[in-house]
């Protein structure tokens, strides 16, 4: 299995509105999982994003990312230069099926088993990480505890993945005051520490009903690889809800 340099989830993140009852909900394991899935939920539409990769020696690379999302399916197009795709990823069947196109020979491949955990463009994000999967249906949550980390009160919740090909364990840390996620730690099949994902808020542009506005969201995912210390960042820049592709757009033919 190739984990490479460091994660996702995925993805791409948007917050829902946190209700006044969130503290009460987060007293239970199920409540925390529900809040977390809502925190990282992203609405259907056309999404502009940026993927950045910085090595410890200072070398950098970045890609523009276009995402088309609708009803559990998503198409990602990575461009190194404008209108020059270097990779396309198609997620189908509620993200359980993952396909990609090799832009050198234009062949389409389906990723199976541990191939889903290979790294996208040599960054720390895997193909599985960037899918819009829900923790509620992909992971078994364990024991909810409270602890202090660097002087800050945190809520700690470990997860056991249902997929035997993937990570052995994930550990989610949330701010004990507002229950916003702080970071997500990833462990490999031998329980070795792989990477840690941190969440950051940013202002994004949102278009809906032909009206543009700005919204503050947890739009940035930043990871640091445990071995190389290379940094990978995935940032959402804009969401256009007025552009929602039809089902035909997500056919395998669109990758050819």
pLDDT for 70-118, tens place per residue? Answer: 988 999 999 987 778 899 999 998 888 999 998 778 889 999 999 999 9
pLDDT given for residue 245 in this prediction: 87
Which uninterrupted H or E stretch holds 37?
helix 29-39
Residues 6+ apart with CB under 8 A from 153: 146, 147, 175, 176, 177
pLDDT given for residue 27 in this prediction: 60
Q: What are phi and psi of 205, to 5 degrees?
A: -90, 135
Q: Does residue 84 sit in helix, strand or coil?
A: strand
Closest to 239 measured CA to CA, from 4, 42, 65, 40: 42
More reliable by pLDDT, 139 or 6: 139
Checking if the pLDDT of 206 tops 70, the result is yes
The separation between the first and the last C-alpha atoms of the chain, rounded to the nearest angstrom, is 27
User: What integer is the mean pLDDT of 174-182?
Assistant: 88
Tell me the average pLDDT of the chain: 85
Residue 128, CA atoms < 13 Å, CB-side half-sphere? 23
Kindly state the percentage of the chain with pLDDT values over 70.
Answer: 89
Q: What is the pLDDT of residues 129-163, one digit of tens each?
A: 998 888 888 888 888 888 887 788 999 999 999 88
pLDDT given for residue 12 in this prediction: 33
Closest to 88 measured CA to CA, from 57, 109, 116, 58: 109
Task: Indicate the Cα dihedral angle 163, 169, 173, 179, nearest 10°.
Answer: 30
Checking if the pLDDT of 25 tops 80, the result is no
Q: Does residue 19 sit in helix, strand or coil?
A: coil
């Amino acid at each position: 299995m190739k984990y490479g340099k460091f994660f996702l989830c995925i993805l791409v993140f948007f917050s829902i509105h946190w209700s006044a009852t969130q503290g009460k909900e987060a007293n239970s394991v199920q409540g925390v999982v529900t809040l977390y899935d809502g925190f990282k939920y992203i609405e259907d539409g056309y999404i502009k994003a940026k993927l950045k990769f910085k090595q410890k020696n200072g070398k950098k690379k970045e890609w523009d990312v276009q995402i088309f999302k609708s009803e559990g399916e998503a198409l990602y197009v990575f461009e190194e230069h404008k209108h020059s795709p270097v990779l396309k990823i198609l997620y189908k069947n509620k993200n359980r099926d993952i396909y990609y196109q090799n832009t050198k020979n234009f062949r389409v491949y389906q990723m199976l088993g541990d191939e889903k955990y290979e790294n996208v463009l040599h960054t720390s994000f895997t193909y599985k990480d960037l899918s819009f999967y829900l923790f509620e249906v992909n992971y078994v949550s364990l024991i909810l505890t409270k602890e202090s980390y660097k002087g800050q009160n945190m809520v700690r919740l470990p997860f056991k993945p249902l997929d035997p090909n993937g990570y052995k364990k994930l550990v989610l840390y949330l701010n004990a005051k507002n229950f916003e996620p702080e970071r997500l730690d990833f462990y490999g099949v031998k329980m070795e520490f792989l990477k840690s994902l941190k969440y950051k808020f940013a202002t994004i542009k949102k278009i809906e009903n032909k009206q543009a506005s700005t919204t503050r969201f947890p739009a940035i995912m930043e990871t640091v690889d445990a071995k190389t210390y290379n940094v990978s960042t995935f940032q959402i820049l804009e969401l256009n809800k007025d552009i929602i592709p039809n089902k035909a757009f997500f056919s395998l033919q669109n990758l050819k």
